[in-house]
Amino acid sequence: MSAAEFPAETATTGEWVRQRNRFTERVTADGSSGWAALPGRYHLVVSLACPWAHRSLIVRRLLGLEHAITLGIVDPLRDERGWRFTLDPEGRDPVTGIRLLSEAYLASDPEFSGRYTVPALIDVESGTIVSNDYHRLTLDLETEWHALHRPGAPDLYPVQLRAEIDEIDELVYRDVNNGVYRCGFAASQRAYERAFDALFRRLDLLSERLERQRYLVGGTITEADIRLFTTLVRFDAVYHGHFKCNRHKLTELPVLWAYARDLFQTPGFGETVNFEHIKNHYYRTHPAINPSGIVPAGPVSDEWHTPHGRETLGGSPFGTGTPPVD
């Protein structure tokens, strides 16, 4: 299951607590961490349903790291053993040869007893996991893999804006990215209402900020926009109903809805979204929340392609960089 899955534990207050990442090694440009940024050495395993994995998928695409880091995509549905490579021929990941992500986890730590989460960056030679730290993984792709970025790759984590990006990321993580799960997996009414209030209070503040500027920090897309986008793009499809985040739909929040469509229509974003995987995963793998397993037919994804009008605020998606190309 992903880092965005079943409750890791429920505190006495009924609040849901996320499992900590087990593997937090870093890949660095000079290899001083023990892991060097080298082409072909690492394999990124993701679920297209998971917002935490989605971050790394977008960053890999925007920076043109497809040639350097291979990609494995798991089935959006799991059995009791966790994430499976049933989308691949013979049910095996073609790069590592494993059938289950748990095999890489247990090869890395035979005593591991937690949840097998995505994203997972695997060392191809040893078959062990270098990192499942979704917080740090994208930052390292942006800062330690420069030599392998495509020509014209945007700067998603500019030095002069990092303090502001980090501040925004912390608030968005607490109240929005993780907040929707604190709503959905709350084990008491009070815990749910606290998470619900914090979520929509933050969305209101983000709406105020984005009413005046096209992107969260500066005049171009940064890491902060990527982290917010992966929650917003799932909001109406799963979080609004499935996780009871239902004060408003995203489509009823004009500024955030336009902002999300702007990003969706930007190269590198919309093509990484798979609503079929998203809805099937959430509605069919949380039986405590949706025991019938019925997947809703809506909402209609065509609305994501409607005009957003955000260009009038100025800014440029990639600054002096260029969009990704196939």
Selected catalytic residue, list 42, 134, 157, 181: 181
Q: What topology does CATH give the domain 159-313?
A: Glutathione S-transferase Yfyf (Class Pi); Chain A, domain 2 (1.20.1050)
Residue 251 assigned ligand-binding role: no
Q: Specify which residues 46 forms β-bridges with.
A: 73
User: Three-state SS for 61?
Assistant: helix
Q: Where are the domains of the chain?
A: 9-148, 159-313
Selected catalytic residue, list 50, 105, 183, 239: 50
Residue 28 assigned ligand-binding role: no
Confidence of residue 11 (pLDDT cuts 50, 70, 90): low
CB burial of residue 325 (10 Å; 0-12, 13-18, 19+) = exposed
Q: Specify which residues 70 forms β-bridges with.
A: 43
Q: Note whether 105 and 96 are within 8 A (CB).
A: no
Find where tokens 């099937």 sit: 280
CA distance 282 to 221: 28
Residue 116 assigned ligand-binding role: yes
C-alpha count within 13 angstroms, C-beta hemisphere, residue 215:
23
Amino acid (one-letter) located at 47: S
Q: Is 181 assigned a catalytic role?
A: yes
pLDDT at residue 115 above 50?
A: yes
Q: Is the peptide bond before 110 cis (omega within 30 degrees of 0)?
A: no
Residue 239's nearest CA partner among 170, 304, 178 is 178
What are the tens digits of pLDDT across the range 203-262? 999 999 999 999 999 999 999 999 999 999 999 999 999 999 999 999 999 999 999 999
Share the mean pLDDT of the chain: 95
Residue 272 assigned ligand-binding role: no
pTM equals 0.95
Residue 129's nearest CA partner among 159, 107, 153, 151 is 107
Query: Mean of the pLDDT values across residues 86-90?
Result: 97
Please count the other Cβ atoms lying within 10 Å of the Cβ belonging to residue 207: 15
CA distance 177 to 160: 25
pLDDT at residue 326 above 90?
A: no
Amino acid (one-letter) located at 175: D
9-148 against 159-313: fold identical: no
DSSP label at residue 143: H
CA distance 110 to 103: 9
Crossing angle of helices 134-143 and 223-234, in 10° steps, is 140
9-148 CATH choice from 3.40.190.10, 3.40.50.150, 3.40.30.10, 3.30.70.260: 3.40.30.10
Q: Is 245 assigned a catalytic role?
A: no
DSSP label at residue 321: S
What are the tens digits of pLDDT across the range 36-56? 999 999 999 999 999 999 999
The end-to-end CA distance of the chain, in Å, is 30
CA distance 62 to 152: 10
